[in-house]
Structure 1
Amino acid sequence: MPSGVPIRFEGVSKHFGSVQAVNDLSFTVEPGRVTGFLGPNGAGKTTSLRMLLGLVRPTSGSATFDGTAYRDLERPLETVGAALEAASFHPGRSARNHLNVYAIAAGLSATRVDRVLDQVGLTQYADRRVGGYSLGMRQRLGLANALLGDPGVLVLDEPVNGLDPEGIRWIRGFLREMAAEGRTVLVSSHLLSEVQQSVDDVVILAKGRLVHRGPLTSLGAESTVRTTVDSPDRAALRAALSETGHRFEETAEGFVVLDVGATEVGRTAHLARVPLSALHAQQSGLEDRFLALVNGEGLR
């Protein structure tokens, strides 16, 4: 089973002319954990990942895989699997053909192609031209490409972009599985809500600077649950929530129930025989803390 190695950013800065895209970035991503690389669009995340993968030269500092630059890895595809947001594929080729080309070029076994297609759920679409793929399917193909060498390190840029709810749920489980196998997983996103159910650690950038790093729990344990629920019969749902004493607010999206999880709200509706059209919960405290950091509060 592949084992991961630490990813190390040490004093990394990058200037594009007078624009400072990344400023003195230092952090370590440990094996066996999923690390969320977070920040708003334009924060410097993609530039940082491109420096890590040798696609952009840092102005100063180094980004390495346990001290080895990507360009110096002996078998890079078997050490690092990467899928950048801007990945593109020839529209006239099938997914299988695309992966076969990369496998041959890297000297990998052809059996890996079928394996990764199965891993990302593309087997039944493997011989369809990529030009007919949805954005979510292209995201899965990019992930399959990253997995070809069965690497110990995964670097993924906005992997849930374009995925439907089922796909997002799948990739969350997939990331956890990869980390459980001892791999190093670094995944970028501009939204904490997209990754908070799958990451162990967070590294947060704002305007090219590191503003927070640590376990997800370090963002603050004082989070409150807010459950959004809706029904075709809002009057009946309103009555059911009132009868149980739940505190709630009515919005355009339905009812926001305070300090009660989705399971309990769903149970309330079930007992009252109220059909539901929406039910989801959010840890609002974490998201609020994240937004405060990227907006300059608590910058360090």
Structure 2
Amino acid sequence: MTDVRTIEVEAVTKRFGAVAAVNSLSFQVAPGRVTGFLGPNGAGKTTTLRMLLGLVRPTEGRATFGGVAYADLDSPLRTVGAALEAASFHPGRSARNHLAILATASRIPRARIDATLDLVGLSEFADRRVGGYSLGMRQRLGLASALLGDPGVLVLDEPINGLDPEGIKWIRSLLRALAGEGRTVLVSSHLLSEVQQSVDDVIIIARGELVHEGTLSSLSAGDSLSVLVDAPDRAALAAALSAAGFTVTAARAGLVVVGVEAEEVGRAAFAAGVPLSTLHRQSSGLEETFLHLVGGDR
């Protein structure tokens, strides 16, 4: 049996009638790192997390913590902290009261309540009714619920949703700190831009299937290098570049040459005696690579 801090999803499939929300999905999430679980809305992220947390039964396969199903963990709240996007709280209860109920049910020391409220920045509002909380404050309370048992694994569904810029900066720092303590941190999002400053690894799914797994930097390997170039005599430029063996396509702002550096394009134009008005390197970037993987560029 592996470390219970290691999330293991093994050939998981979930069908709702004839629709496969998740299809033969496999991946691992290691401790000590922040992993982004990414994909467009409807890709199957929340369904996968619900299967991992025992809220939905897989049609096939299994999702465990080091080989142990969530329902079989000795102390679930002390092992896994989870905050799902759809988490709801009784509007008449305070944040302190909500955490007190969780602490009592899981035999967690009451001292953890104040410590956790302070950690997520809710101490000042701890005795205010949750019904008056903003979306960002509810997100913080969901995170407090996940952290209450001081777990080794955190599973967070869209945790940045509803936070202001200061809150986003805060949660990024917190996630990095938690992973630095050796915890496993799995964060779902439908936007790479939301999490790319805080994650080490990415797992990307689309239409319920895995399309990429690796480090964040591994996405850069799929960048498509191109050069945008233009000249007062665009036809002469196109002829010179084609004669040099480059693949050239027309764009509104000029000509696009794929798979070469700008210096090579400039030399070819100079050799042909064609003066240039535009010459710069283009790269697809992480977000564009992500959109290409999930089909968002279509």
Give the TM-score category using the shorter length.
Answer: 0.7 to 0.9
Equivalent residue for 2:76?
A: 76
CA RMSD of aligned residues (A): 1.6
Equivalent residue for 2:287?
A: 287
Equivalent residue for 1:51?
A: 51
What is the alpha-carbon distance in structure 2 between the residues aligned to residue 296 and residue 208 of structure 1?
15
Equivalent residue for 2:94?
A: 94
Residue identity over aligned pairs, in percent, reads 73
Equivalent residue for 1:148?
A: 148
**Structure 1 stretches lacking a partner, 5+ long:** 225-282
Deviation string 1:176-223 (CA, Å, 9 cap, x unpaired) is: 000000000000000000000000000001010100000000101559
State yes or no: 1:183 paired with 2:172: no
Deviation string 1:62-120 (CA, Å, 9 cap, x unpaired) is: 10000000000000101000000000000011100110111011111000000100000
Kindly indicate whether the alpha-carbon contact (under 8 Å) linking 1:4 and 1:182 is maintained by their aligned counterparts in 2. no
Equivalent residue for 1:135?
A: 135
Equivalent residue for 1:15?
A: 15
Equivalent residue for 2:220?
A: 220
Equivalent residue for 1:256?
A: none
What is the alpha-carbon distance in structure 2 between the residues aligned to residue 284 and residue 101 of structure 1?
49
Equivalent residue for 2:205?
A: 205
Q: 1:296 to 1:10 in 2, by over 3 A?
A: farther
Deviation string 1:132-190 (CA, Å, 9 cap, x unpaired) is: 00000000000000011000000000000000000000000000000000000000000
What is the alpha-carbon distance in structure 2 between the residues aligned to residue 6 and residue 105 of structure 1?
25
Amino acid of the residue matched to residue 128 of structure 2?
R
What is the alpha-carbon distance in structure 1 between the residues aligned to residue 66 and residue 15 of structure 2?
24
How far off is 1:5 after superposition?
1.4
Kindly indicate whether the alpha-carbon contact (under 8 Å) linking 2:100 and 2:110 is maintained by their aligned counterparts in 1. yes
Q: 1:193 to 1:165 in 2, by over 3 A?
A: same
Give the structure-2-normalised TM-score.
0.77
How far off is 1:284 after superposition?
6.1
What is the alpha-carbon distance in structure 1 between the residues aligned to residue 89 and residue 296 of structure 2?
38
Deviation string 1:238-283 (CA, Å, 9 cap, x unpaired) is: xxxxxxxxxxxxxxxxxxxxxxxxxxxxxxxxxxxxxxxxxxxxx9
What is the alpha-carbon distance in structure 2 between the residues aligned to residue 13 and residue 174 of structure 1?
32
Secondary structure in 1 matching 2:167: helix
Kindly indicate whether the alpha-carbon contact (under 8 Å) linking 1:4 and 1:32 is maintained by their aligned counterparts in 2. no
Secondary structure in 2 matching 1:131: helix
What is the alpha-carbon distance in structure 2 between the residues aligned to residue 211 and residue 290 of structure 1?
10
What is the alpha-carbon distance in structure 2 between the residues aligned to residue 209 and residue 223 of structure 1?
23
Amino acid of the residue matched to residue 100 of structure 1?
A
Equivalent residue for 2:28?
A: 28
Equivalent residue for 1:194?
A: 194
What is the alpha-carbon distance in structure 2 between the residues aligned to residue 122 and residue 223 of structure 1?
45
What is the alpha-carbon distance in structure 1 between the residues aligned to residue 167 and residue 73 of structure 2?
32
Give the structure-1-normalised TM-score.
0.77
Task: Write out the 4+ residue segments of structure 1 that deviate beyond 2 Å after TM superposition.
Answer: 221-224
What is the alpha-carbon distance in structure 2 between the residues aligned to residue 56 and residue 45 of structure 1?
13
How far off is 1:31 after superposition?
0.3
Amino acid of the residue matched to residue 174 of structure 1?
L
What is the alpha-carbon distance in structure 1 between the residues aligned to residue 208 and residue 82 of structure 2?
21
Kindly indicate whether the alpha-carbon contact (under 8 Å) linking 2:38 and 2:45 is maintained by their aligned counterparts in 1. yes
